[in-house]
Amino acid sequence: MNYDVIIIGAGPAGQSLACRLNDAGLKVALLEKQPETAIAAPQYDGREIALTHLSVKILNKLDVWKNGMQQHATEMLGARVIDGTSDHTLAFERPDQQLDALGYMFANQWIRQHLFERTKTLTNVELICGQSVSDVRTNKEQGVVCLEDGRILTASLVIAADSRFSQIRRMMGISAEMNDFARVAIVCRMKHEKPHQQLAWECFHYGRTLAILPLSDNECSAVITLPADQAAAVQEMSETEFSADVQRRFGSRLGNMELISERYA
């Protein structure tokens, strides 16, 4: 089969691009290795994404934002940054009082689900799920993509949207510079006693960083970034110990804190 564009990977990047190319009238194949059921109903994975106004503008253009997505967003009114044990707080407010927020918090799961709702209506995009790519080759005329079931697809352009450790990029011999900081992020949802006032906090405690991001009423996402060799110990803490530790490191600004989800590393 021949297409104008083949996109490999139906995550937020691949699906957003497919929506735009569809509107431009191009014939697109969107390949995803997971089964369609998995991308139609993505599971919660702990990621809460801070969307900027530019991202919202793009999602608006794709008819995704106002068509259901907006209701799932939490407005982030401002952000506070703390350096070590300093009492000083660096404050970020809305750049323009006419804007309703500095940015929006949104679970990655919902970004994927809302994009999929739009993707499945696209008439110029063929979604091929549950297939891994066994080979990709390009020459001056075209790109050739071989699927594991033996199908061969061709296109004028092949897009590797298979995430940051892209196997497709490697298969095509394109190098990337990577910097391994040997750090792990542990993410989870917590509830707390005092309202977060829709503020995001980033606490740069030396050696370990703690971000507290506002979700719905008296709930937040905690993101702990720490050296990889300390991650297992944090994952093994009891729920009570973990909650008390986060509360202490955050200086009890939100009162008592309690873990209410799994911890994802």
Ligand X SMILES: Cc1cc2nc3c(=O)[nH]c(=O)nc-3n(C[C@H](O)[C@H](O)[C@H](O)COP(=O)(O)OP(=O)(O)OC[C@H]3O[C@@H](n4cnc5c(N)ncnc54)[C@H](O)[C@@H]3O)c2cc1C
What residue ranges bind ligand X (CB under 6 A)? Answer: 8-14, 31-34, 47, 49-50, 108, 132-133, 161-163, 167-168, 185, 187, 223
Total residues belonging to the chain: 265
Run of H or E residues at 15? helix 12-23
CB of 133 to ligand X, least distance (A): 5
CA–CA gap between residue 199 and residue 51 (Å, rounded): 14
Q: Give me the residue whose beta carbon is nearest to ligand X.
A: 11
Which residues are CB-neighbours of 34 under 8 A, at least 6 positions away? 10, 129, 130
Of 26 and 185, CB closest to ligand X: 185
CB of 61 to ligand X, least distance (A): 17
CB of 105 to ligand X, least distance (A): 8
Of 8 and 246, CB closest to ligand X: 8
CA–CA gap between residue 117 and residue 183 (Å, rounded): 35
Which residues are CB-neighbours of 265 under 8 A, at least 6 positions away? 184, 185, 186, 231, 235
Residues 189 and 221: beta-carbon distance below 8 Å: yes
Of 193 and 262, CB closest to ligand X: 262
CB of 124 to ligand X, least distance (A): 20
CA–CA gap between residue 233 and residue 87 (Å, rounded): 29
CB of 136 to ligand X, least distance (A): 9
CA–CA gap between residue 165 and residue 179 (Å, rounded): 12
Of 104 and 250, CB closest to ligand X: 104
Of 9 and 254, CB closest to ligand X: 9
